[in-house]
With several copies, the nearest count.
Chain A
Amino acid sequence: MISLTDQGFDPGPLLSGFCRGRAETGAVASFTGLARAEGGETKILELEAYPGFTEAQIGAFAETARTRFDLQDLMIVHRIGQIAPGEPIVFVATAASHRRAAFEACDYLMDYLKSRAPFWKKEHGPDGARWVEPRAEDHEDIARWA
């Protein structure tokens, strides 16, 4: 399940639902990305998506993860719009027979979502707003999987 939401969400009920009824799963890894205040430097984060296109691109990438790590299931929920510090931005969960695959797939999906997924990010801080391009670190993260 891949979805975008402009409403705040709580990762807990998503994890509960994802873990339910899995007598043959064994391993569920999850990642929750939270907006950081950066000591007051960032007041509001704004994420823009291209509805339809963004989900489709993420979905196509998720299929590569499902195959590569032999996942039983995965879930991606991504916040868009204006996000305050401490609020969840993204939740990813992966289900596999064994924990190595679940961890690696979750890590892989996050590297993609943080570096190449079709979002445009604006930070509103004390000195105004600025568009953010991916950091060199994000490109290095995704390059690990080549």
Chain B
Amino acid sequence: MARILLFGRLSDIAGWREKTLEPAPARLSDLRALLAADDAALGEALAAPGVQVALDQVLVRDDAALSPRSEVAFLPPMSGG
């Protein structure tokens, strides 16, 4: 069961902040495709420049394999406090 987290404007676009997926997609690219199929506007927002991805709280730049218990966070540009 993968845990997906959205921050900042991404959760406003999606209408949710956190969801779980069972089974977990095999790869980050599969997860992106799944989310975009569900919600095209969100899919586009997640692919926008400046949106970073943290896999188990570590930033990843490229595609990556997900484990069944991965936590994937989509992070729009950080604004500072």
Contacts and interface: CB of A to CB of B under 8 A. Distances in A.
A contacts B: CB pair < 8 Å: yes
B75 A134 contact: no
Given A50-B7, A120-B7, A120-B8, A133 B57 contact: no
Given A50-B7, A50-B73, A119 B57 contact: no
Contacts of A131: 8-9, 12, 76, 79
Interface stretch (A12-20, A100-108, A110-118): A110-118
Q: Chain B binding site: helix, strand, loop or mixed by DSSP?
A: loop
B54 A120 contact: no
Interface residues of B, number: 15
Chain A interface size range = 20 to 34
A115 B9 CA distance: 17
Interface of A: 33, 47-48, 50, 52-53, 56, 78-79, 89-90, 112-122, 131-134, 138
Interface of B: 5, 7-9, 12, 54, 57, 73, 75-81
